[in-house]
Structure 1
Amino acid sequence: MMFGWRRRKGKSQKQDNIHKKELEIPGHFRCPISLDLMKDPVTLSSGITYDRESIEKWLEDGNFACPVTSQVLRSFDQIPNHSLRRMIQEWCVENRNFGVERIPTPRIPVTSAEVSEILSRITESRNQLDQVGCRDSVQKIKDWGMESERNRRCIVANGAAPVLAAAYDAFAIDSFERNAMLLDEILSLMNSMYPLDEESCKFLGSNASLRSLVWLLKCSDISVKQNSMIALKELLSADQRHGESLAAIDGVNEILFKFIKEPVSPSITKASLTVIFHLVSSPNENMKSEFVQLGLVSSVLEIIMESEKSMCEKALGVLHQLCDFKEGREQAYDNALTIPVLVKKILRVPGLATEYSVSTIWKLSKYEKKHEGRVLIEALQVGAFQKLLLLLQVGCGDDTKEKATELLKLFNPYRAGLECIETADFKNLNRSF
């Protein structure tokens, strides 16, 4: 690595020439793997020193030999090379006029033994319902995780998630009103530990935990709502079976719908859409009916029309599931935005969004014969025929291909004089039709 000198005003030509030179890092200050200036030099059992981040990545990738000597390592211990680190820091200070910044003194990484000890304390505090002791331990883990990504990985690898989830469940059973602050701190810490494993899901998916998560959604603090909403999203994404238990909690559908109808933050809205998607994907039609009666179809259509890709895709997924049953389809038929919005999103938003759009139009045209003609005519008028042809040309999944082909056949009797191409969707594309 070279550090370039900046040219300063008012200097002589000779000094200008000096400034055009480059400052070279001494070879023994470079990591043999990354070739960059070492920030945290550590020495292996082979006697070779590397930057900690580089050698950890090397070992995590399943390599068991020293990269330089190819010698099989007797141990994976990484001994901090304090002398070399101080030399590097002194060199940085000596060359600060050339734009070199002094590397900070690295914190000693947390060890597995330290993580295991603090997790044991959390378990003990959980058993004794010691709120203060648990909060102190949770804060200690949070501080470690914020120091480095290496610490975070160590914490996760030593089983922090199920221990924290078990603590959450215990304090939720005790009283989620009295322990609300601790419960939120546990959820905040678990944000860096998703996706959830099976044991963590068991504790977070308990009746007490689910009720406390829903209760936290009612808090005025947006960060508390967000931590709880993300936890619900991760729980149902890991195991959709918890959806039935969640749906049985009074008022949960209204709370989730309110986050869609009256957004408080993009992350909460996205998480809410994911949770609702899992809920309406179940065979429980009463739950779907309740969401439809709340006005979810119109709300998701507005999101689809106005939102960026990720949000749009989630909203399309919800609409797609709602159109699996009659009441949801009737709401979609009654909304003038439905067909124009769905056709517009074909190819505009690649991936699942296009698949959901095609499949939803197919459902609306196939399941209710009395609406078939109107749906097909509206779709033709906003350019669906050309878009589906283009979709088949550029390629799509087998299921989408089958439905697009069937829709094209259904369009044929209605095509004369009705087609309208949205030219913005076909600009600069070669068409074979």
Structure 2
Amino acid sequence: MAIHLPDHFKCPISLEIMSDPVILSSGHTFERSSIQRWLDAGHRTCPITKLPLPEHPSLIPNHSLRSLISNYALLAPIHHTISQPETLISTLASPSSPLDSKIDALRHLTRLSKRDSAFRRRLADSAAVPALLAAVDHPALQDKALPLLLNLSLDDDSKVGLVAEGVVARVVAVLRRPAASPDSRAVAATIVTSLAVVEVNKATIGAFPAAIGALVAILRDGKGRERKEAATALYALCSFPDNRRRAVDCGAVPILFRNVEIGLERGVEVIGVLAKCKEGREQMEGYENCVHILARVLRNGSSRGVQYALLALTSLCFYSQQMVLVALEEGVLEASIGFVEDDNEKVRRNACNLVRVLRGTNNHNRVR
């Protein structure tokens, strides 16, 4: 049974109780993830008033409403019925439970596990995981099951066990499923990122058939948020060297550059990592305007984008005199010099390394 909270506690977009309410410049409040998806889709009007918004709308946390929702839920008379996880797990696991009851159980378990690490560990060690994985496989339950699975993946002690339970197969199936919602694919990619925090999982996930290919496919065909989360997951996996070659083999390089060209700066981070392997550099050298795109990030990108553009250019120029010549023509040396005293230590270090390579201080850039 659900908690009945006042209607103004519900997001006008998702119609669900808000956990992270934010105020738009129009004065209306939304769940952060819902309004962010609206904005990521390219909308620049308020969903309620239809009035225009600024190019980069601010989302101001509505702390007072968040506190009201939290306090109301804690004081609600029915709260004692949702504080017994065994009942919820039993509902989720039972084949005879109605679909609505399973959806309700997933919602409550997700809310209870969101901020309580002890509760998450308790769930991860219980019969909840097999039932949860079955829910991920169920089209009608998938959207509610994935956020709970993400919550369980947040604790380092549970990450390896979840992979052993078969989470990767379920997550990859969601990533590859044409009928899955963009939100589901985005959450599935975020689960990959979370699991890949543990080094052994990077190798396990990367070796799983179609895992990296599914992320690359989302970068090619997906929408705003799911592409961003796919790039983040790919970056996490590609800190493991074998996965860099797998990503290159899946055609990641040209797809990443196309994403960077249309504004997905997170793709630069993956490019910076892939440039560490020979196969990645060869693909980049063969991509028209590769250096031009990275040089544009140096001029217009965020600090993190600049950091990885410098890293990629250093790798390319270190091993290729042709790349050095192209970089010099694009004004990369002058741009790099501008970062040698940057406040960001990583930007500063990468800029100094690139300047040395472009000035010929290093002699390895003639040898592959």
Give TM class, smaller chain.
0.5 to 0.7
SS at match of 2:276: coil
Preserved contact between residue 311 and residue 350 of structure 2 (Cα < 8 Å): yes
| Partner amino acid, structure 2, of 1:228 | A
User: Shift of residue 363 of structure 1?
Assistant: 1.1
Whose RCO is larger (CA < 8 A, sep 6+)? 2
Aligned partner of 1:377 in structure 2 is 325
Decide which of 157, 163, 174 is 1:205's aligned counterpart.
163
Q: Does 1:156 align with 2:156?
A: no
Change (3 A) 1:280 1:208: same
Aligned partner of 1:234 in structure 2 is 194
How many Å separate the matches in 1 of 2:286 and 2:79? Answer: 59
Change (3 A) 1:206 1:332: same
Preserved contact between residue 314 and residue 357 of structure 2 (Cα < 8 Å): no
Percentage of identical aligned residues: 15
How many Å separate the matches in 2 of 1:209 and 1:135? Answer: 24
Change (3 A) 1:121 1:261: same
Change (3 A) 1:164 1:334: same
How many Å separate the matches in 1 of 2:338 and 2:240? Answer: 33
Decide which of 314, 320, 325 is 1:362's aligned counterpart.
314
Q: Does 1:302 align with 2:268?
A: no
Change (3 A) 1:289 1:131: farther
Decide which of 71, 74, 86 is 1:120's aligned counterpart.
86
How many Å separate the matches in 2 of 1:212 and 1:349? Answer: 36
Q: Does 1:349 align with 2:307?
A: no
User: Given the two structures, how large is their TM-score scaled by the length of structure 2?
Assistant: 0.67
Preserved contact between residue 217 and residue 225 of structure 1 (Cα < 8 Å): yes
| Partner amino acid, structure 2, of 1:139 | D
Rg larger in structure: 1
User: Shift of residue 343 of structure 1?
Assistant: 1.5
Change (3 A) 1:294 1:181: same
Residue deviations 1:167-201, cap 9 Å, x none? 56313676965x4544542214556x487123543
Preserved contact between residue 186 and residue 230 of structure 2 (Cα < 8 Å): no
Q: Does 1:132 align with 2:97?
A: yes
Q: Does 1:267 align with 2:234?
A: no
RMSD: 3.7
What are the ranges of 5 or more consecutive residues in structure 2 without an aligned counterpart?
A: 1-62, 362-368
Question: How many correspondences in the alignment?
Answer: 294
SS at match of 1:205: helix
How many Å separate the matches in 1 of 2:204 and 2:360? Answer: 47
How many Å separate the matches in 1 of 2:349 and 2:252? Answer: 29
Residue deviations 1:352-408, cap 9 Å, x none? 111111111111122x2xx22x222211211112212221244331x5434423433
Aligned partner of 1:215 in structure 2 is 173
| Partner amino acid, structure 2, of 1:294 | C
Residue deviations 1:17-65, cap 9 Å, x none? xxxxxxxxxxxxxxxxxxxxxxxxxxxxxxxxxxxx87x97xx9xxxxx
| Partner amino acid, structure 2, of 1:404 | A
How many Å separate the matches in 1 of 2:205 and 2:359? Answer: 45
What are the ranges of 5 or more consecutive residues in structure 1 without an aligned counterpart?
A: 1-52, 61-77, 81-105, 146-151, 415-433
Q: Does 1:142 align with 2:94?
A: no
